[in-house]
Every structure is written in structure tokens, then in C-alpha cells.
Amino acid sequence: MSLLWGRRILAGAMTLVAAAAMTACGSKTSDEGGAAGVTADVSGDTVKVGLLNSLSGTMAISEVTVRDSIMLAVEEINAAGGVLGKKIQPVGEDGASDWPTFAEKAEKLISEDRVAAVFGCWTSASRKAVKPVFEKNKALLFYPVQYEGLEQSPYIFYTGATTNQQIVPGLDYLKAQGTKSVYLVGSDYVFPRTANKIIKAYAAANGMTVVGEDYAPLGSTEFGTIVNKVKSSGANAVFNTLNGDSNVAFFKEYKSAGLTAAAMPVVSVSIAEEEVKGIGTQYLEGQLTAWNYYQTTPGAANSKFVAAYKAKYGADKPTSDPMEAAYVSVHLWKAMVEKAGAFDVEKVRGASDGITFDAPEGLVTVDGKTQHIAKTARIGKIGADGLITEVWNSGKPVAPDPYLRTYPWASGLS
């Protein structure tokens, strides 16, 4: 009898399962507008914005500084009366250096907290993970880090450099210096691999040779072999797309192998002031970096930014390019909202074209079509004091071209 009962309960449960699954059938992919966007909650006298950065894991060291500088911008705006008369209420989440976690937290910020915009993400992998979440919910992300280009989401504003504002000027600089051969060293993930594809296409069209290309796993500290290969290659320069801790090991090995910035300069695209401090200036002095902003960049806007940052977080804290881009992104969002007169995402996007901001890096302008911003490219040299001084700049802001459509040599890339 008991067995019979067991079976009945089982059968009942299975029917329930089947019934539940049958009733839950929604729109097909072919349907139009299956999902409606979640609208931000702006009913109160505050407006929530999401802060999505890694506060734990390998990326925390870099992303915490971005969080700090976003908070600085939020406080400045609130002190000046907020946005459309509403104070900004930041909601922080930890992406934990884990891409699926970024997607989960993005969804939480949008659908539970109903924020008006989200600021954050660093690695390309985390951006790729959250991109569908923002597109699905028709919500806004401001992404503050230089990246590999080849992307243009209608729901992301890219306030860091795309390739033609950082890597291409870096290569132009090397070419002008008479560099004939380069060696490519990078971490094994999407940004370096894509960047190196672009570099190889550039080199082929500009009479440079790429004499070697090596990738180290993220977080790797074994650079003996790679540095030996670099040394024996006799390249004129090294293009370095290593990320994080790997740079420490790479530059120590580089110096101990007897390689110098004078004989074989290294151009890095992921080493900013914060990282210089971590790696040690004795290993980096004289090496080159490509960015859009340095702490030493002249101008009243930058003096104000640096002073405010140091007053809030400590005199020994440097400011860097991604921090500046994150700071700028909050101010740009404010300007867009005020031009649109509403927090509504589509209205904000519509109002974005031509918005300018007197940023620490100089005047920046939003390009409404690509949702990137025009930025001045700058090559800098790392000094003994850990600061980076500009040795070249593009003179005027470079218009963003994420797919490199205006460069004939890049036609095969996308």
C-alpha cells in the first residue's frame, strides 16, 4: 500500500512539473519586442545609479581606484545640487573579478534597484558578459576603460579610448621614432590578442616587422623564456599588453636580462600611475606608455581633479587614465540627462551627441553615433618619481573609430 502511495505522489508531482512547464511558454524569437525595458525609479527626490566594479579578486587593485573616482564625481555633483534637482544615490556591487558575477549584479542593479545608469566594468570579458543584460533591459552602462574596439552597443557609452585613440597613436609614435621591428608581449585574453591583430595589420602596411608574439596566462609570473626570446630577437621595441601582476615579473626579468629603455623601449598600454607604483619605478624608468591622460597633464580642470582626489583619498594616491575616464563618465551622464531633461534612457541617448565636458584630460566630446568620446592621444615616459610625463600628443582630440573604418590597412579586421 505504501508503495502505491509513493507512486501516486510521484505521479502527482510529475503532472505538476509538466503542467507548470506547459503553461510557461512566452514569446518566440521572431516576435517583435518580446521584452520591455525596466524603467528606472526616479519617483523620489534621489536617483539611484549603479557602481559595478570588482572589489575582490585579481582585478580589485585596479577597479577599486575606479570606484573611488566615481564616488568623487558623485559627491561633487551632489554638492552642486544633484542631477535635475535629485541627489545621486550610489548603489555599489562587487563584480568579484568574475564575468558571470558581473552579469548577475548588472541584472540586480537594473531590475531590483532600478538604477538610472550603471558605471563600471574593466576587463573586456566582463563588458561582454554584461552587454546582453543592458541590451535586454534597455539600460545604460558607462564603460571607463581603454579597450580593443570592434564594438558599438546602443546601451553602452565608452569613455575610455578605443584602438585608434591609444594603440594606433602608440604605433605612429614608434614609427616616427624610426622603429622597424617590434616584439609583441601580452596576457592571454581578448584585449591583447585583438590588439596584436591590429598591430600586425598596421605593421604590414607601414613597413614594420613583427619579430615575435608571445602570450602569458593572466597572472603568470614566469617570464624568463619570453624575455630571452625578446632579447635574442633584436627588436627595436616591445609592445606590451600584459595585465596586472604579470608586469611586475616581466619588467624585473627585462631589467635583469640587461635590456634598457634606451636600447629597446617597451610601450605599455595597461600600465598607469597606480600600476607604476606597484611594479616599482626602478624597473620602469624611461619606458613608454600610451594613454589619454596622465596625472601630470596640464590644465586647471586636472589640477582641481588631482587636488580633490588627493584630499579625499590621501596625498600618496595617484590619479590615472581609467580613473579619469570614470570620473568623466559620471559628469557626461549628468550633462546628457540635463540636456534631455529626463532620466529616460532613450531620451538620454538621443541627447548625447555633441555633449562636451571640460575634463582633466582636456575637452572631450561625445559622438552620438558610436557612443564613444573624442579624446586626445598621449604618449608618456615614466619618470623616477613614478609619474608619467607626456612626450607627444595628438594636438587635438581624435574622433573615435571603434571599427577602424577610416584606416585602409585595417579593412580586413572587421
CB of 174 to another protein, least distance (A): 24
- Among 104-112, 316-324, 347-355, 373-381, the segment contacting another protein (CB under 8 A): 104-112
* Site track 38-57 with another protein (rule: CB under 8 A), x = hit: -----------------xx-
Cβ pair 159, 374 in contact under 8 A: no
CB of 364 to another protein, least distance (A): 26
Rule CB under 8 A: choose which of 63, 94, 274, 367 binds another protein: 94
CB of 397 to another protein, least distance (A): 26
CB of 78 to another protein, least distance (A): 20
Rule CB under 8 A: choose which of 112, 346, 358, 385 binds another protein: 112
User: What's the number of CA atoms in the CB half-sphere (13 Å) around residue 168?
Assistant: 26
Residues 233-252 that bind another protein (CB under 8 A): none
Length of the chain: 414
Rule CB under 8 A: choose which of 61, 190, 210, 261 binds another protein: 190
Cβ pair 387, 319 in contact under 8 A: no
The string of DSSP codes covering 219-244 is T----HHHHHHHHHHT-SEEEEE--T
- Number of residues forming the site for another protein (CB under 8 A): 63
Pull the grid cell for residue 295: 596625472
CB of 133 to another protein, least distance (A): 8
Rule CB under 8 A: choose which of 104, 213, 214, 390 binds another protein: 104
Task: Tell which residue, 52, 221, 243, has the closest CA to residue 147.
Answer: 243
CB of 408 to another protein, least distance (A): 17
Is 28 near another protein (CB under 8 A)? yes
Q: Rounded to whole angstroms, how far apart are CA atoms 308 and 298?
A: 16
Rule CB under 8 A: choose which of 7, 304, 396, 405 binds another protein: 7
Q: Rounded to whole angstroms, how far apart are CA atoms 278 and 249?
A: 11
* Site track 118-157 with another protein (rule: CB under 8 A), x = hit: -----xxx--xx-xxx--x-------------x-------
Q: Which is nearer to another protein, 150 or 335 (CB)?
A: 150
Give the Å distances, CA to CA, from 294 to 157, 272, 366, 395. Answer: 22, 8, 21, 15
205-211 long-range contacts (CB < 8 A, ≥24 apart) are 205/408, 205/409, 206/171, 206/175, 206/409, 207/180, 208/171, 208/174, 208/175, 208/179, 208/180, 208/181, 208/182, 209/180, 209/181, 209/182, 210/181, 210/182, 210/183, 210/184, 211/181, 211/182, 211/183, 211/235
CB of 16 to another protein, least distance (A): 6
CA angle 310, 311, 316 (to 5 degrees): 35
Q: Which is nearer to another protein, 9 or 311 (CB)?
A: 9
- Grouping H, G, I as helix, E, B as strand and the rest as coil, residue 76 is helix
Is 311 near another protein (CB under 8 A)? no
- Grouping H, G, I as helix, E, B as strand and the rest as coil, residue 206 is coil
Contact residues toward another protein (CB under 8 A) are: 1-3, 5-7, 9-10, 12-13, 16-17, 20-21, 24-31, 34-35, 55-56, 92-94, 96, 98-101, 103-105, 107-108, 111-112, 123-125, 128-129, 131-133, 136, 150, 188-190, 193-194, 197, 215, 217-218, 412-414
